[in-house]
Amino acid sequence: MQPGDLLDLDVTDVAHGGVFVARHEGRVVFVEGAIPGERVRAELTDTAKAAFWRADVVDVLDASAHRHPHVWAAADVSVPPAERPGGADFGHIDLDEQRVLKKRVLDDALTRFGGVSEPETTISPAGDAGGRGDADSSGAEASDGLRWRTRVSLHVDEEGRIGPFAARSHRVIETPDLPLATAEIEEVARSLEGFAPGRVDLVQPDEGGVRVIVRPEQPRPEGSERAERADAPRGRGARAGRGARSRRPAPRVPRAPEDPTARETVIERVGDRRFLVDAGGFWQVHRLAAATLTGAVRRALETAGGVDPAAQHLDLYGGVGLFAAAIAEAGGVGTRVTSVESDARATEHAGENLAEWVGARAETARADRYLASLSAQAGAAERARLARGVVLLDPPRAGAGREVVDRIAGLAPASIVYVACDPVALARDLGTFRGHGYEPLRIDAFDLFPHSHHVEAVAVLAPTR
């Protein structure tokens, strides 16, 4: 069969990545826009792999009781799949059922990749820090799960069209509304026009209005190495031998200038605390996410037995110091905590955000290199303090990886708090930690991306031997 062919499929389960599982003559078909228990008609989009195919729902033959019209009309099943914007792949499912499915994906990942036979996890909406409901006084999640995005990236194509990409595509979809974004961002988005190809980021910090950050497409020189690779012969006979033409270095092309708005310092609030961050820097996307995760980290620290102010604590991938501040607050004014972040501007802000704690400092370094240096240079006294401390890590979506996990375990901290934005990456790293004798005391998930498949989780681990 070929892309474009139609199949009638029975959908049996959910899988990681926002797709659903069906089978056709024994072959797995990952279907977008379905719900387990449904029978759907789906259009094949990718049949290149022998192990599985991909397809999009074009008609629902037997609907789930959890299905409703998509919260984003532009992404509804009634719209041709190629015209649907991405970013809201669960928008056709009741919110409560979305959370059931996200928890199922997390639990399955923990079992398959983490070796946890019977995971005990929870899942809560934004604004609820693991069931206590005290993450922030500024409000709770909207009952419809909309208007939560305070940061949105739109794309500009060669024809000047502005909008999100289509799902699993780099094709721009123009749409009159952005229901997941705040009303203020949606209003600004409607007024955008006249941009060169590239990206436009809309950022609404806690204080001040919406910032528009223009990120032009970086020019690629003709005759560049990438172009030469694209034209090069492929296959076993393509290896260059003696006498082959040497590869020419790509000519230098000036980078498009950075929009100064990206480096404007803005203010975000978590409870009564203010955090400085670049408008174009990293901050949690959901308006309640930073407060929710701070509450979850506090609870994780309590579960682990609290924070010893005389110990040495680490906040890896620390950004502007959000979680380092939570550790320092729990330990008191003299708490020794080091925030480690590879972005120098974020580290600069972290230093300011942590200034009230005399034992806090911020280091600009990659986590793996910092840990390698620390492992090689720490003396007996510092190692003893680290062994009584907490290591918190909030890695990117790919996870921390074996090298970082091994280095952390080699420091033998009293507890580890892992903030994760991908369940499979969390599970893999958790499996590595378990190999070093650390076991999860609790794992709490948070639905900080309603109407999408994404889910955040906070795990706290302690040594068992």
Q: Which residues contact 187 (CB under 8 A, 6 or more apart)?
A: none
Structure tokens at 282: 């990293």
Question: Beta 390-393 vs 39-46: how paired, if at all?
Answer: unpaired
Q: How far apart are CA 136 and CA 153, in angstroms?
A: 26
| Distance set, CA 439 to CA 343, 384, 401 (Å) | 31, 21, 17
Question: Beta 336-341 vs 312-316: how paired, if at all?
Answer: parallel
CA 222 centroid distance within chain:
34
404 closest CA partner among 395, 365, 193, 284: 395
Contact 31, 57 (CB under 8 A): yes
Q: Which of 109, 325, 354, 421 is catalytic?
A: 421
Q: How far apart are CA 73 and CA 24, in angstroms?
A: 30
Q: Which residues pair with 440 in a beta bridge?
A: 461
Whether residue 421 lies in the annotated active site: yes
Residue type (1 letter), 149: R
Q: How far apart are CA 274 and CA 276, in angstroms?
A: 7
462 exposure class (CB count in 10 Å sphere: 0-12, 13-18, 19+): middle
Question: Beta 19-24 vs 6-15: how paired, if at all?
Answer: antiparallel
Phi, psi of 128 (to 5 degrees): -125, 105
Contact 86, 160 (CB under 8 A): no
Structure tokens at 338: 């080091």
DSSP assignment string, 57-80: EEEEEE--TTB-S-SSGGGSTTS-
Contact 84, 166 (CB under 8 A): yes
Question: Beta 6-15 vs 39-46: how paired, if at all?
Answer: antiparallel
Residues with a catalytic annotation lie at: 421
